[in-house]
Amino acid sequence: MSSNSEPEQQPLLQAADSDHGGLVRRTAGSKRDSLESSRSLSDGSLLSQPHHGRLEDDVLPEESVLGRNIGWKSAYIIAISRVIGSGIFAVPGVILKSVGSVGLTLVLWVLGAVVVACGLAVSLEYGCMLPRSGGEKVYLEFTYPRPRFLASTIVAVQAVLLGFTASNCIIFSQYVHYALDLEPTDFSKKFLALVLLTVITVIHSVWYKAGIRIQNFLGWVKVGLVIFMVFAALYVVIFQPAQTVGNSFQTRDQSAWDTLWEGSDWSFGTLSTSLFKVFYSYAGLSNLNNVLNEVKDPVRTLKSVSITALVTACLLYLLANVAYFAVVPIEEIKESGQLISALFFERTFGVNVGRRILPLAVALSAGGNVMVVTFALVSIVLLLFLTRVN
């Protein structure tokens, strides 16, 4: 938002002269300066023309009552930890079963990253133009100020009904049951998911800074876990160690790469649903937009963090898929459902480590995702409440 760059001073979407329901704050001084500037350009004829003021005059970044406590590293974790949740540990097996081949699966992951990058560009444009907490609530209210409260009501319904990532809570529960060798039931899975969500809510409500530290730690754990998987698969490919599965002694299966496109299903319905599952795994790159009031140097941080998170997620997802296909036979991947990473760990490290310890790390990864979602969603809910109060 440098004042030295003229193009950045013009908002892409001009604010109307009417009130935007509390979204765009204007000061008396900025209005007076704008009018005086218009008078100086002509003999007064320009006063009847629409005034395109500077972005700094139309939108003033606010600061959270808690201050700006989020630096670059914490901001990066808020973005990448939202993206790398349960998706990469659960979705690849489901996608492979749908499309039928390794080659088509990898193409979908690359295509998904390209489409997500286009959406991220829009999010960055709005975020740099309106550097305030609230994300889509702020952007929709700025773009559609009338009817009043329509945009905020739509966002409120979405935040209340669809905001929490219930799927990550359930996957956390599934991996805990798998690691502890417990028989999962509908009640036990939902109960454990509810406990996770309750604990996270209490942490963010009572211990604000401690919650940020915990989610930072869990974020680095999940990034490290994916990198660890990649190196483990590389070891398998290079040294070809044998393995013990159950009571049988087997060698590693590399048939996936001999039949890269065999069994591909190119139907539009299959590709579209599989692509939506890829989008689910990439969801959350704009998570930082929801808490910009708490971010230090929000515009610069938003630009660098979002792009870095996208590149990181794309590379890690491709490498993780290659790791799965290099270690686990294709038919077993198709039958694994959402437990593909647990199967990968068990075949690579054996029952004790692969079935017990590492699935717990995946569960923590899903829990970290729920933490950053809850942290960001609270800002949206608070803004919705303040909008109604004011």
- pLDDT of 298 above 80: yes
Domain boundaries, the chain: 1-63, 65-389
The confidence score (pLDDT) of residue 148 equals: 79
Q: Are 201 and 58 in contact (CB under 8 A)?
A: no
The confidence score (pLDDT) of residue 388 equals: 56
Query: CA nearest 80: which of 281, 342, 229, 251?
Result: 281
The confidence score (pLDDT) of residue 22 equals: 42
- pLDDT of 322 above 70: yes
Query: Once rounded to an integer, what is the mean pLDDT over residues 266-279?
Result: 90
The confidence score (pLDDT) of residue 6 equals: 42
Q: Are 223 and 84 in contact (CB under 8 A)?
A: yes
* Average pLDDT of the chain to the nearest whole number: 74
> Which residues lie below 8 Å from residue 90, measured CB to CB, with a gap of 6+?
171, 338, 339, 340, 341
Per-residue HEC secondary structure of the chain comes to: CCCCCCHHHCCCCCCCCCCCCCCCCCCHHHHHHHHHHHHHHCCCHHHHCCCCCCHHHHCCCCCCCCCCCECHHHHHHHHHHHHCCCHHHHHHHHHHHHHCCHHHHHHHHHHHHHHHHHHHHHHHHHHHHCCCCCCHHHHHHHHCCCCCCHHHHHHHHHHHHHCCCHHHHHHHHHHHHHHCCCCCCHHHHHHHHHHHHHHHHHHHHHCHHHHHHHHHHHHHHHHHHHHHHHHHHHHHHHHCCCEEECCEEECCCCHHHCCCCCCCCCCHHHHHHHHHHHHHHHCCCCHHHHHHHHECCHHHHHHHHHHHHHHHHHHHHHHHHHHHHHHCCHHHHHHHCCCHHHHHHHHHHHHHHHHHHHHHHHHHHHHHHHHHHHHHHHHHHHHHHHHHHC
The confidence score (pLDDT) of residue 263 equals: 79
Residue 68: burial class (beta carbons within 10 Å; 0-12, 13-18, 19+):
middle
Q: Which tens digit of pLDDT belongs to each residue from 85-124?
A: 767 877 888 888 888 888 899 999 999 999 999 999 999 9
What separation in angstroms does the CA of 40 have from each of 30, 33, 44?
A: 15, 11, 8
Q: Using 50, 70 and 90 to split pLDDT, how confident is the model at 241?
A: low
- pLDDT of 219 above 90: no
169 token code pair: 């809570």
Percent of the chain with pLDDT over 90: 10
Give the whole-angstrom CA distance, residue 342 versus residue 344.
Answer: 5
Q: Which amino acid is at 294?
A: E
**How open is the CA angle 8-118-86, to the nearest 5 degrees?**
120
The confidence score (pLDDT) of residue 345 equals: 81
Which CATH code, of 3.90.730.10, 1.20.1740.10, 3.40.50.300, 3.20.20.70, is assigned to 65-389?
A: 1.20.1740.10
Q: Using 50, 70 and 90 to split pLDDT, how confident is the model at 4?
A: very low
